[in-house]
Structure 1
Amino acid sequence: MLRRGVLAVRGGLTEADVREAAAALAERALELPELADARTVAAYVSVGSEPGTLALLDALYARGVRVLLPVLLPDNDLDWGAYAGPDSLLRVRHGGKMALLEPAGERLGPEAVRHADAVLLPGLAVDARGMRLGRGGGSYDRVLARLEGADAEPALVVLLYDAEVVERVPAEAHDRPVHAVVTPSGLRRFRPSYPSSHGDPSKGR
């Protein structure tokens, strides 16, 4: 029910609403020390009325950050490729699913995400514990399990609209809380990220 409700609200957003929120999201996200200090960020290309990411991807790329973008595999796992600007994206339709924008260059393998300093996660909601509600496809559950299995500890950040920060979402034993959520109106932290690679987490709001 929560998924349906969030998707219904997103479906009512205008293109202008999405553009305005995307610009604010990029501005807020770039305030995060985890992104300011990152050399490699695993991200994704928003589609439809999702909280927009393209402005943020371009800002990170302009800074010289290596931005990795997902490529959906037939089993719903994710491969990765490097972002090289808007012209490096291809629109790909996977069966009857929504068309996705994916990197056109070399495939780096599912394990490439282990080298990211920060991972931007799509989602539909996050709760007061930092638990994320995804779309239910399981792709990012695999990513998070892969990171945990490799003892990789990137900063985990979700990009959402303001109303999608809620009191509680369903969670299972294997679910992992994120470090922060970014919305158009600000930042909220749930647990410290890793100061050995990301500086002082107290600098965030």
Structure 2
Amino acid sequence: MTARKDSPARSGTDSLREDKRALRRRLLDARKARGDDARAAATEALTRHALALAEGVEGPICCYLPVGPEPGAAGSGTSTVPDALLAAGHEVLAPIVPAEPGPLDWTRYEGPDALAAGKLGVREPGGRRLGTAAIARAGLVLVPALAVDVHGHRIGRGGGYYDRTLPAVPAPTPLAVLLHDDELIDLVPAGELDVTVAQVIVPTRGAVAVRNNG
């Protein structure tokens, strides 16, 4: 029987998808296993580093709203990274998940009291939508991820929203990912459509440049 011509490509895609799924499970399990004190200490350090990176930035800062075990989420005695940026006087834009798969919309973040239930069980600001192009005027973009490798490849939760969004960010604008120290790893399985980042922010080292291969 003659093999279908698309079998190798399909096999490669399936293998990449499974590699990503396995890595996500491992990374999510590791995050859930972190104690409250460790999370709070990480958020305190990440907040300090993020504020240093944002100092002197012109334009708004696009930043996801971290929750639960995500780096930068609120802990015992700590606020979230976006709350700290807001308190420091920065204009913070938060992402809005679209009804259909596509680039993220954006709106101004005005604090936790202004949040309402959104898509995917995530609380979102209820303010006026600024459109998907709002990210193009950002001075800094803080991107979520479960891990980033030394080449700048990131792995998220699999929705693909940021991979559809980040191509709209002008090249000079820094893209940074908040991570725990052990989430900067040697290799993330990546495909052609996966967007790379130029730096990560980790608690012990602050902002770390990674080899961004575009």
Normalization by structure 2: what TM-score? 0.78
* TM superposition shift of 1:110: 1.2
Output one character per residue of 1:41-66: Cα deviation in whole Å (capped at 9) or x when no partner: 10011122111245321222123211
Q: Does 1:182 align with 2:201?
A: yes
Aligned to 1:166: 185
- 2:38 corresponds to which letter in structure 1? D
- 1:107 corresponds to which letter in structure 2? R
2:62 and 2:142 in contact (8 A); partners too? yes
Q: Does 1:51 align with 2:71?
A: yes
Aligned to 1:89: 115
SS of equivalent residue, structure 1 residue 126: strand
For residues 40 and 49 of structure 1, the distance between their equivalents in structure 2, rounded to whole angstroms, comes to 25
* TM superposition shift of 1:141: 0.4
SS of equivalent residue, structure 1 residue 10: helix
For structure 2, the residue ranges without an aligned partner over 5 or more in a row are: 1-21, 74-78
Aligned to 1:200: none
* TM superposition shift of 1:191: 5.5
Pairs aligned (count): 183
For residues 182 and 76 of structure 1, the distance between their equivalents in structure 2, rounded to whole angstroms, comes to 28
Between stretches 59-68 and 13-22, larger displacement belongs to: 13-22
Moved >6 Å (runs of 4+): none
Aligned counterpart in structure 2 of residue 75 of structure 1, from 95, 100, 116:
100
**Are the structure 2 counterparts of residues 139 and 48 from structure 1 closer, same or farther at C-alpha, using a change threshold of 3 Å?**
same
SS of equivalent residue, structure 1 residue 31: helix
For residues 144 and 159 of structure 1, the distance between their equivalents in structure 2, rounded to whole angstroms, comes to 16
Q: Whose Rg is larger? A: 2
* TM superposition shift of 1:152: 5.2
* TM superposition shift of 1:30: 1.8
For structure 1, the residue ranges without an aligned partner over 5 or more in a row are: 193-205
Q: What value does the CA root-mean-square deviation take over the aligned residues? A: 1.9
Aligned to 1:139: 161
1:127 and 1:169 in contact (8 A); partners too? yes
Normalization by structure 1: what TM-score? 0.81
**Are the structure 2 counterparts of residues 36 and 191 from structure 1 closer, same or farther at C-alpha, using a change threshold of 3 Å?**
farther
For residues 176 and 153 of structure 1, the distance between their equivalents in structure 2, rounded to whole angstroms, comes to 15
For residues 134 and 157 of structure 1, the distance between their equivalents in structure 2, rounded to whole angstroms, comes to 13
1:47 and 1:101 in contact (8 A); partners too? no
Between stretches 109-118 and 17-26, larger displacement belongs to: 17-26
For residues 159 and 85 of structure 1, the distance between their equivalents in structure 2, rounded to whole angstroms, comes to 19
How do residues 9-158 of structure 1 correspond to structure 2 at under 5 angstroms? 9-32=30-53, 35-38=54-57, 39-53=59-73, 54-77=79-102, 78-92=104-118, 94=119, 97=120, 99-147=121-169, 151=170, 153-158=172-177
SS of equivalent residue, structure 2 residue 123: strand
Aligned to 1:8: 29
For residues 153 and 143 of structure 1, the distance between their equivalents in structure 2, rounded to whole angstroms, comes to 16
For residues 134 and 93 of structure 2, the distance between their equivalents in structure 1, rounded to whole angstroms, comes to 8
